[in-house]
């Protein structure tokens, strides 16, 4: 018994010092839902998937009594969790529960408020708010050096979501991290509404997201990579005060929206299985992912050679499309080594690739 | 302004006439011009235009606004609709129907006898067409960015020097009083020694995915439009939108380098040098044929210790424009007559007689014509244009490779990085090649 206890302790210490190596989720999350203007069954399940997908959270959904039901017994033990997520807008909780939640945050806990408007979360809700019709809009970072937004594109497009107008940050300790931008960039009135906010409260932190609402249809807003990733980062920040997650390749940009149909993180593990089928009219994703991997290697010979070998594999593959080979040749033209030369030269007989082979060899000076 | 005909203008125009006949300055017989007895003022600079899309026509209008200073006689474009519009504009201005049209710049350069040419083309054509026009000893008003690659730029610079022609870059901000004033305050030390500069250039815009392959419109010579760029099927992207595709442009970054980086260099005395170290990051679209970075943010270090950050405007506190930071304050300048400073007193400073007075021009196109006449350099000569776009192109290389680039601004080479060095040029598709100057 004593020995077993020691092993548990050792495991706990190891997990604590090597968070990135641990396969067990590090942080326990309580998602509270049950009443809302939107379909909370869809959203709370999505939030659970999104948070658990990071591997660092283990989420439990807790449903409150329904509207009008007795709320007096609703008194969850927040202390068992690192992060509480509110996907809730409805009947008042017992005062003791509100106090317990405030204590939990004050003592260092994290709160993530998902489309849950409450002053506790650092926003002031006026008597009446205007909810704009569902539309695509651009989100812009207002603060780019906060752990949640650091390294993210400063502008990105978000699909088919509602914008709540008139919310104001409560007090100076509430920071608007990002805002929805509506209107023409150059002409006419610009409207900016906060969509991501952060607030420090006591020893704890609150992250607020006002995007990603379900629409009883395709739920594009909920599947937006921008919503998903900012929620994952916001959750980590609220729980720990820092963000260790990398900015993913598929974060949307000002050029276009990006969705994660199943909330799954784009790993690119299947890059070289997919890039051979490259068809520009279908998707350029795997090619732009390859470019991002080359950049990420940042001149590291070993990593670049590893990529080069796989790229040459595509050149050698009779099943791979000429379009794929053209793109590979273009990248090899600057980052290739002697390793790729024989395979590049072999393609010269392919009439459709003559120009591309010449391009590559000229640049490689071979 | 002095009205005189430069030796070269004179020589070129009288070349068609009997050799050895010297005419009193300012009067050239119309027969020498082959204009059938019509007598234009001899001080009119005879020009042609290559590239008559939106920017080419904008420049043409700016030249025509100079009234009798110059005259267009020939235009060239691969889009026959653009060409017809340009001819119409020229003919209206000349009150005749004589403007000659060409679909191939080689024929244009071969057949036309001109003093100068206004060139506004997609960047991937700049290397070849600028160089060939310069080698014909034409004075050139050339649009920025002057090159798609550093090697193109080096070739163009060498050609200008060798042929000793007048070059004016379309960096027209130099001819606006507030930009000059800002640069002049900075170069005269009104904010002390400069340590840091920010150049804010436009953000990138929305993508269009990948449009289907389409039939080339009958007015467009697609093969000639592509020229030295890789052969691709026509998907409806040509005029204007070429700037979102890396085969033809570096996007807003390279497009605007010739404005706010150029002004930054002008004020900081960096016009004839370049950074020694460049590092940064970009944001690229994930999907579609528009593949230039929509965001970019890199830092350039200069040998004298100055650092310059170049970024899309949304990343910078001051947004668009140039901001110089010195030990005594800052000066910011942007379009729309924006000129601000950390202390408004800086803006009231008088530049003394013995201090640096930057080149003054009040009209960029007039300045070109005046320079062609006088034979003295224009306000936006070739090397500063090359140095300005080099900053952007080196930034592009740093972002593409994910590496810190070391650049030798004297030998104009990247040191210690073979991969990055390969990105200094782009091979041309046959039969096109860049002339060796």
Q: What percent of chain A has a predicted confidence (pLDDT) above 70? A: 89
Separation of alpha carbons B68 and A247, rounded Å: 59
Reported confidence tier of residue A144, pLDDT bands at 50, 70, 90: very high
Sheet with B70-76, edge to edge strand ranges: B100-102, B70-76, B45-50, B116-119, B139-142, B167-169
Q: Residue B285's closest chain A neighbor by CA?
A: A255
pLDDT band at A188 (very low <50, low <70, confident <90, very high): low
Residue B289 in contact with residue B208, Cβ under 8 Å?
yes
Distant-in-sequence contacts of A276-281, Cβ < 8 A, 24+ apart: A276/A314, A276/A317, A276/A319, A276/A320, A276/A321, A276/A324, A277/A320, A277/A321, A277/A324, A278/A320, A278/A321, A278/A323, A278/A324, A278/A327, A279/A321, A279/A323, A280/A323, A280/B210, A280/B289, A281/B210, A281/B212
Comparing CA positions, the residue from A200, A306, A244 lying closest to residue A19 is A244
At B14 the pLDDT is 38
pLDDT tens across the length of chain B (437 residues): 444 444 444 434 433 333 333 333 333 333 344 444 333 445 799 999 999 999 999 999 999 999 789 999 999 999 999 999 999 999 999 999 999 999 999 999 999 999 999 999 999 999 999 999 999 999 999 999 999 999 999 999 999 999 999 999 999 999 999 999 999 999 999 999 999 999 999 999 899 999 999 999 999 999 999 999 999 999 999 999 999 999 999 999 999 999 999 999 999 999 999 999 999 999 999 999 999 999 999 999 999 999 999 999 999 999 999 999 999 999 999 999 999 999 999 999 999 999 999 999 999 999 999 999 999 999 999 999 999 999 999 999 999 999 999 999 999 999 999 999 999 999 999 999 998 77
Nearest chain B residue to A144 by CA: give it.
B315
Among candidates A74, A106, A181, which has minimal Cα distance to A136?
Answer: A181
pLDDT tens figures, A43-66: 999 999 999 999 999 999 999 999
With a CB-CB cutoff of 8 Å, which residues 204-223 of chain A face chain B? none
Residues from chain B contacting residue A297 (CB–CB below 8 Å):
402
Mutate to test the interface with A, among B283, B397, B405 (most CBs of A within 10 A): B283
CB contact under 8 A, B423 and A334: yes
Chain B CA closest to residue A288: B286
Rounded to 10 degrees, the C-alpha dihedral A306/A311/A316/A317 comes to 110
Q: Does the beta-carbon distance from A285 to B429 stay under 8 Å?
A: no
pLDDT at A4: 54
Whats the size of chain B, residue-wise?
Answer: 437
Report CA Rg, chain B: 22
Q: How many other β-carbons are positioned within 10 Å of the β-carbon of residue B319?
A: 17
User: Would you list the DSSP string of A226-260?
Assistant: HHHHHHHHHHHHHHHSS--PPPPTT--BTTB--B-
Cα-atom radius of gyration of chain A, to the nearest Å? 25
**pTM confidence score:** 0.91
A&B contacts, CB < 8 Å: 112
> Rounded to a whole number, what is the largest CA-CA distance in chain A?
79
What angle in degrees, to the nearest 10, is found between the helix axes of B382-401 and B150-163?
A: 170
Tokens of A87: 């996907």
Q: pLDDT tens digit string along A288-302? A: 999 999 999 999 999
A109 compared with A182, residue with greater pLDDT:
A109
> Which residues contact residue B131 at a Cβ distance below 8 angstroms, ignoring those fewer than 6 apart?
B155, B156, B159, B434, B435, B437
The percent of residues in chain A predicted with pLDDT above 90, rounded, is: 76
ipTM associated with this complex:
0.90
What does the pLDDT read at residue B436?
79
**Nearest CA-CA distance, residue A331 and chain B, Å:** 10
Query: pLDDT, tens digit, for every residue of A116-125?
Result: 876 555 566 6
- For residue B1, the model assigns a pLDDT of 41
**Phi and psi based region of residue B329 (left: phi greater than 0; alpha: psi -120 to 50; beta: remaining):** left
- A255 CB neighbours in chain B (<8 A) are 204-207, 285-288, 290, 294
Q: Which residue has the higher pLDDT, A161 or B40?
A: A161
Note the pLDDT of residue B195: 98
- Provide, as residue numbers in chain B, all residues whose Cβ is less than 8 Å from the Cβ of A344: none
Report pLDDT for A10: 52
């Amino acid at each position: 018994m004593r020995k077993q206890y020691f092993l548990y302790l050792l495991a706990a210490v190891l997990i604590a010092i090597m968070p990135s190596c641990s396969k067990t989720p590090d942080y326990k999350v309580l998602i509270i839902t049950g009443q809302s203007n939107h379909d909370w069954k869809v959203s709370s399940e999505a939030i659970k998937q999104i948070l658990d997908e990071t591997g660092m959270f283990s989420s439990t959904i807790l449903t409150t009594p329904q509207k009008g039901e007795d709320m007096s017994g609703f008194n969850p033990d927040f202390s068992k969790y690192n992060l509480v997520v509110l996907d809730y807008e409805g009947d008042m909780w017992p005062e003791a529960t509100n106090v317990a939640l405030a204590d939990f945050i004050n003592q260092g806990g994290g709160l993530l408020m998902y489309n849950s408007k409450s002053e506790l979360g650092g926003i002031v809700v006026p008597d009446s708010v205007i909810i704009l019709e569902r539309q695509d809009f651009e989100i812009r970072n207002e603060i780019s050096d906060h752990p949640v937004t650091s390294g993210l594109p400063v502008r990105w497009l978000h699909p088919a979501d509602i914008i709540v107008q008139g919310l104001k940050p409560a007090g100076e300790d509430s920071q608007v991290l990002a805002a929805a931008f509506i209107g023409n960039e150059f002409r006419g009135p610009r409207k900016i509404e906060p969509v991501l906010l952060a607030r420090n409260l006591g020893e704890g932190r609150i992250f607020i997201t006002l995007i990603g609402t379900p629409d009883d249809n395709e739920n594009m807003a909920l599947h937006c990579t921008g919503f998903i990733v900012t929620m994952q980062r916001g959750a980590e920040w609220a729980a720990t005060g820092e963000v260790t997650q990398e900015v993913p390749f598929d974060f949307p940009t000002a050029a276009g929206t990006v969705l994660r149909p199943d909330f799954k993180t784009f790993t690119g593990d299947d890059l070289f299985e997919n890039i051979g089928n490259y068809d520009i009219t279908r998707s350029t994703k795997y090619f732009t992912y390859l470019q991002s991997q080359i950049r990420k290697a940042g001149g590291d010979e070993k990593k670049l050679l590893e990529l080069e070998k796989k790229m040459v594999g595509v050149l050698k593959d009779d099943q791979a499309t000429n379009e794929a080979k053209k793109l590979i040749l273009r990248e090899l033209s600057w980052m290739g080594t002697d390793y790729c030369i024989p395979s590049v030269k072999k393609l010269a007989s392919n009439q459709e690739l003559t120009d591309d082979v010449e391009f590559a060899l000229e640049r490689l000076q071979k | 302004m002095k009205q005189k005909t430069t030796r070269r203008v004179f020589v070129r125009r009288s070349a068609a006439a009997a050799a050895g006949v010297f005419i009193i300055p300012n009067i050239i017989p119309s027969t020498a011009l082959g204009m059938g007895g019509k007598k234009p003022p001899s001080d009119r600079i005879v020009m042609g235009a290559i590239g008559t899309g939106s920017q080419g026509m904008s420049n043409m209008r700016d030249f025509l606004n100079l009234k009798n200073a110059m005259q267009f006689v020939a235009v060239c474009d691969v889009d026959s609709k653009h060409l017809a519009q340009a001819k119409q504009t020229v003919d209206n201005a000349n009150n005749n129907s004589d403007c000659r049209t060409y679909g191939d710049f080689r024929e244009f350069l071969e057949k036309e006898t001109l003093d100068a040419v206004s060139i506004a083309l997609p960047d991937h054509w700049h290397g070849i067409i600028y160089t060939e026009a310069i080698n014909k000893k034409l004075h050139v008003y050339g649009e920025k960015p002057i090159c798609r690659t550093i090697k193109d730029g080096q070739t163009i610079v060498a050609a200008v020097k060798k042929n000793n022609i007048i070059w004016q870059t379309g960096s027209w901000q130099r001819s606006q009083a507030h930009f000059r004033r800002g640069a002049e305050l900075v170069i005269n030390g009104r904010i002390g020694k400069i340590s840091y500069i920010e150049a804010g250039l436009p953000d990138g815009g929305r993508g269009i995915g990948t449009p289907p392959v389409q039939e080339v419109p009958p007015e467009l010579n697609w093969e000639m439009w592509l020229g030295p760029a890789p052969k691709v099927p026509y998907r409806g992207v040509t005029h204007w939108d070429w700037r979102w595709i890396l085969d033809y442009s570096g996007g807003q970054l390279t497009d605007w380098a010739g404005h706010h980086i150029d002004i930054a260099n002008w004020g900081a005395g960096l016009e004839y040098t370049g950074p020694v170290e460049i590092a940064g990051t970009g944001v690229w679209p994930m999907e579609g044929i528009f593949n230039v970075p929509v965001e970019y943010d890199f830092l350039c270090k200069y040998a004298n210790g100055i650092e310059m950050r170049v970024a899309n405007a949304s990343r910078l506190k001051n947004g668009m424009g140039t901001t110089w930071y010195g030990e005594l304050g800052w000066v910011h300048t942007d379009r729309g007559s924006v000129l601000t400073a950390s202390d408004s007193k800086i803006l009231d400073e008088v530049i003394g007689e013995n201090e640096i007075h930057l080149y003054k021009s009040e009209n960029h196109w007039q300045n070109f014509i005046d320079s062609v006449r006088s034979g003295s350099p224009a306000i936006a000569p070739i090397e500063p244009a090359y140095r300005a776009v080099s900053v952007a192109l080196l930034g592009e290389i740093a972002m593409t490779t994910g590496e810190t680039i070391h650049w030798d601004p004297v030998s104009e080479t990247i040191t210690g990085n073979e991969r990055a060095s390969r990105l200094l040029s782009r091979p041309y598709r046959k039969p096109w090649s860049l002339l060796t100057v």
